[in-house]
């Protein structure tokens, strides 16, 4: 495993994860959701890229399914990753919904769920890297 590459991506995952709380405190639940998706994406890419695998794009569900083949699944995270996968575009684009805009669509509950899912994925990837 390329530990330097792993650390580079995982450090960005953790940094992005910490910023979720800042957005939540400000009521930016849309951006908190997007940052949770990004933190998950960075963590999954940390593992895959550190192992020399191609990990391009934003399909975190595909990244997760590849990571399962590398790590013991442990707790089932597919539902979490699937939820986060849906948060790549809608939180950022005013035309993602037929009417209104993202800031009025995303709730604290959405952001809390996204944050918890991102936390679980980051911890799973870290645990896998330590074992591997």
Kindly report, residue by residue over 110-119, the tens digit of the pLDDT: 999 999 999 9
Residue 18 CA to residue 55 CA, distance in Å, equals: 23
> How many Å apart are CA 21 and CA 36, to the nearest integer?
10
Higher pLDDT, 54 or 126: 126
Structure tokens at 95: 């035309």
Q: Residue 14: what pLDDT?
A: 98
The dihedral built from the CA positions of residue 95, 97, 100 and 102, taken in this order, carries a sign that is negative
Stretch 46-56: mean pLDDT: 91
pLDDT score recorded for residue 132: 57
Angstrom distance (rounded) from CA 56 to CA 105: 29
Render 64-104 in DSSP notation, one character per residue. Answer: HHHHHHHS---S--HHHHHHHHTTSSTTT-GGGSSSS-HHH
Place of tokens 């013991």: 72
| Listed residue (66, 41, 72, 73) closest to 51, CA to CA | 66
């Amino acid at each position: 495993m390329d530990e330097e590459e792993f650390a580079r991506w995982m450090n960005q995952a953790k940094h992005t994860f910490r910023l979720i709380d800042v957005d939540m405190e400000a009521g930016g639940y849309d951006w908190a959701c997007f940052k949770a998706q990004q933190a998950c994406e960075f963590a999954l890419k940390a593992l895959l890229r550190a192992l020399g695998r191609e990990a391009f794009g934003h399909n975190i569900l595909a990244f997760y399914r590849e990571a399962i083949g590398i790590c013991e699944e442990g707790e089932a995270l597919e539902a979490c990753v699937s939820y986060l996968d849906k948060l790549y575009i809608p939180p950022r684009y005013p035309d993602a919904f037929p009417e209104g805009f993202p800031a009025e669509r995303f709730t604290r509950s959405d952001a809390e769920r996204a944050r918890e899912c991102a936390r679980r994925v980051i911890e799973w990837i870290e645990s896998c890297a330590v074992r591997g």
